Structure 1
Amino acid sequence: MAKKFDTVVLGGGIVGVSIAVHLQQRGRSVALVDRKRPGNETSLGNAGLIQREGVYPYAFTRELGTLLRYARNRSSDVRYHPRAMPSFAPFLVRYWHHSQPARHAAIARSYATLIEHCVSEHRTLAAAAGASDLIRQSGWMKVFRSAQVRDEETRNAERWHAEFGVAFDSLDAARLREIEPALRGSLQGALHYTASDSVSDPNALVTAYAGLFEKLGGEFLIGDATTLQPGWTVDTERGRIDARAAVVAMGPWSDVVSTKLGYRLPLAVKRGYHMHYAPEGEARLNHPVLDVENGYMITPMARGIRLTTGVELGHRDAPKTPDQLTAVEPIARTLFPLGQRVDDEPWLGRRPCTPDMMPIIGPARRHRDLWFAFGHAHHGLTLGPITGRMVAEMMTGAQTLVDPAPFRVDRF
């Protein structure tokens, strides 16, 4: 006989785990189902940022010079698989459309309602999970190799501050050297986003949140989310389970289930890579650092210095092609004294993206008690806990902290 739950949450990344915790805290009996232990897919590899400053989601460039540079497929921040471009084209056209400045600004006004709670919701969950030591409350930095780019980015930060209260410090080259003495090269200063947090081990944080979920009485099960059937039933290693409600929070694989159920949602992926390095000698990196002109990030992690790449456009399950990592590694070594590689091979992750740059959060309109929570793009780690809270509030009929309307499924 199948075991029964109030809700089955499909997906053991930061979003799915956060939803499971919040539902369990509200008295629902929850099964969390994934093919791996929590935090071992997309949530494993990221720059570890909780981006309070991220009120404007990453737009598609509309500058002709940048587009031509990307078209040559040699850029350090964006690469693509030529054979994948025909299937990507409809998504990219819609992405470009929504990136028009006025539309992008309107999107930011909705998106900021989620972003403004990202740090506080993470800190609350981390405290409950006994994982506060994994979160650093010291912000992160963009560093600049040219005064022109520095000034452009500073104007953006000033606008974000005026519109949304984004906190930042503008650092000249001397002040930057005081804060990050191991950085090298003729840097022209930095922007320090002081209200954002960072994570020393994203996998450990998601694991801690999953541990809280189980401590609250929830059950994690290895299973095959693609076996979901209206009812709602799912096959797991311990047999079939039944639930009154189901939540699809499978990140870049969410469309496998949503499409099977008859939904045509515009989900694409941006792939990315990371590699860990031992620092040379006594070199220390105190903050995550984005090399703006070259489109990569270095972050101090428990495993070493994590180098993360920009965007690779390719089919979700295509083999690894870590050309960007190969291209930016020597550049990163000019910024910080990276030692030997720590990992056996580069890690590949996939960011689930929608063309309007906002996640899909809310009830599925054609099925009763089916909910979607995916499409968080570059901000999955950032928005996991606030998404979890919002979904749990909607499912239990509580007043939501954030208006869910801009993120509704039927906007597409």
Structure 2
Amino acid sequence: MAASVIVLGAGMVGVSVALHLQRRGRAVTLLDRQAPGEGASFGNGGLIQREAVHPHPFPRSFSELRRIAGNTALDVHYHPGALPGFASPLLRYWWHSEPTRYEHAARAFAALITTCLDEHRALAEGTEAMALLRPIGWMKLYSDAATFDAALAQARAAHEHHGVNYTVLDSMGLAAAEPHLQVSRLGAIHFTDPYSVSDPHALTLSYARQFEAAGGRFVHGDAMTLSRAGSGWRVQGAEDPIEAEDVVIALGAAAANLTRRFGYAPPTFGKRGYHRHYRMRGNATLNRPMLDTESRFLLAPMRAGVRLTTGAEFAANDAPPTPIQLERAEPIARSLLPLAERVEETPWMGIRPCTPDMLPIIGPLPGQPGAWCAFGHAHQGLTLGPTTGRLLADMMCGEAPFLDPTPYRAERF
């Protein structure tokens, strides 16, 4: 075989898998149509979310469903014609969000999340990547007392059960922490553990450079050409076919399109997201990422400027971009901060790969010896890439997994 492992997909998850396998002495080829980190890993809030021990459930209250159904919300937008294609996975998502089933998913999700800082540090320490991992956390702002009290109760429970650290700011403390905030809020919760990544694309590229420096190979190619080659696998690179004993499918939202050809059709679905950067007026600054719960979008300081990141858009994967949420959010963002001109006129768009039970798919591809899955991380691919890489490498190399992989097995679908 020309290589012992082919990793399909060079986002944060795929790069992390490739790097962990390379560190264990496997000969690895990383393949993607684009350069590393140019898919969903490029556009996100730039947070390594140690506090995110609870995944995003499907809303179950009538008032919340009615708010979303109006299709005017800032955090959720949908193309009406695309909804029939989402009916089955969203119904399963709703089913898994029932409180008892959700609690089971949350325990499994928290087991992954609580490792994220250590696993990123294990890849970043001693490299230029450490400068990208800013230990400043992020803040959630509140203007309603009942909502604030409920959030504080949840934060206390997360601290007690999962070691999530935070501080509470009143209105004056928030104004002191963010002196250029142009509105008054009742208070904020500052989650102190998460890293704020100043350039998520650069972080993926840094890990990819480590992989290549250790002897790994990156090639351009079409993952959809994957086929059996004897007892192994073959895929077409830009110049030559590549063969290997094992293959890892880390293609994010496109993964199920490939696995279906090999008899595995998980009910995954994509949430589209957008971002755009803005400069600040004069000497104004934003000190740390913040999400204003009244406005429902994230603003984060990045190398390129202040990044405005939208929530979820439900649309056909091949539908043209419709950055309606950005257009709705921008005037509100300008009321929150002294934003100046847009850095780029055309916003970025990507697709977050989601599963109905809110857990990623990590482990062997059913019925296909030598094929492995690493996809379905929804909003947390940046956070969980190194954790997934280590867990899958443990399994592939016959080592005792550092976490119980059972909740993430592909066979659950």
TM range (shorter): over 0.9
Residue equivalent to 1:170: 168
Question: In 1, distance between residues paired with 2:246 and 2:138?
Answer: 39
After the TM superposition, which of the residue ranges 220-229 and 107-116 deviates more from structure 2?
107-116
Q: 1:36 aligns with which of 20, 34, 37?
A: 34
Question: In 2, distance between residues paired with 1:87 and 1:50?
Answer: 31
Shift of 1:409: 0.3
Q: Conserved in 2, the CA contact under 8 Å of 1:129 and 1:209?
A: no
Q: 1:79 aligns with which of 65, 77, 80?
A: 77
Shift of 1:179: 1.2
Question: In 2, distance between residues paired with 1:197 and 1:354?
Answer: 25
CA offset digits 1:54-89 (Å, max 9, x no partner): 111011111100100111101111111100111101
Residue equivalent to 2:135: 137
SS at match of 1:192: strand
Q: Conserved in 1, the CA contact under 8 Å of 2:264 and 2:366?
A: no
Residue equivalent to 1:323: 324
Question: In 2, distance between residues paired with 1:262 and 1:317?
Answer: 23
Q: Conserved in 1, the CA contact under 8 Å of 2:121 and 2:130?
A: yes
Q: Conserved in 1, the CA contact under 8 Å of 2:373 and 2:410?
A: yes
CA offset digits 1:201-224 (Å, max 9, x no partner): 000000000000000000000000
CA offset digits 1:199-249 (Å, max 9, x no partner): 000000000000000000000000000000123001011200100000000
| Aligned partner letter, 1:60 | F
Shift of 1:109: 0.9
| Aligned partner letter, 1:328 | A
Q: RMSD between aligned alpha carbons?
A: 1.0
Residue equivalent to 2:61: 63
SS at match of 1:27: coil
Q: Identity rate of aligned residues, in percent? A: 49
Shift of 1:256: 1.6
Question: In 1, distance between residues paired with 2:158 and 2:182?
Answer: 29
Structure 2, gaps ≥5 residues long: none
CA offset digits 1:92-150 (Å, max 9, x no partner): 11101111122111111111111111011111211254310000011111011222222
Residue equivalent to 1:27: 25
**Number of residue pairs aligned between Structure 1 and Structure 2:** 410
- Indicate whether 1:337 and 2:335 are aligned: no
Question: In 1, distance between residues paired with 2:263 and 2:126?
Answer: 38
TM-score, length basis structure 2: 0.98
TM-score, length basis structure 1: 0.98
Residue equivalent to 1:99: 97
Question: In 1, distance between residues paired with 2:272 and 2:214?
Answer: 34
Matches within 5 A, 1:288-307: 288-307=289-308
| Aligned partner letter, 2:45 | A
Q: Conserved in 2, the CA contact under 8 Å of 1:80 and 1:313?
A: yes
Q: Conserved in 2, the CA contact under 8 Å of 1:362 and 1:391?
A: yes
Q: 1:188 aligns with which of 162, 186, 189?
A: 186
Question: In 2, distance between residues paired with 1:129 and 1:411?
Answer: 38
Question: In 2, distance between residues paired with 1:330 and 1:42?
Answer: 25
CA offset digits 1:157-180 (Å, max 9, x no partner): 112122212111111111111111
Q: Conserved in 1, the CA contact under 8 Å of 2:269 and 2:353?
A: yes
SS at match of 2:151: helix
Residue equivalent to 1:112: 110
Residue equivalent to 2:379: 378
Shift of 1:399: 1.4
Q: Conserved in 2, the CA contact under 8 Å of 1:140 and 1:192?
A: yes
CA offset digits 1:353-385 (Å, max 9, x no partner): 000000000001201010000000010100000
| Aligned partner letter, 1:26 | R
Structure 1, gaps ≥5 residues long: none
Question: In 2, distance between residues paired with 1:345 and 1:11?
Answer: 25
Q: Conserved in 2, the CA contact under 8 Å of 1:56 and 1:104?
A: no
SS at match of 2:369: coil
Call closer, same or farther: CA 1:128–1:318 in 2, change over 3 Å.
Answer: farther
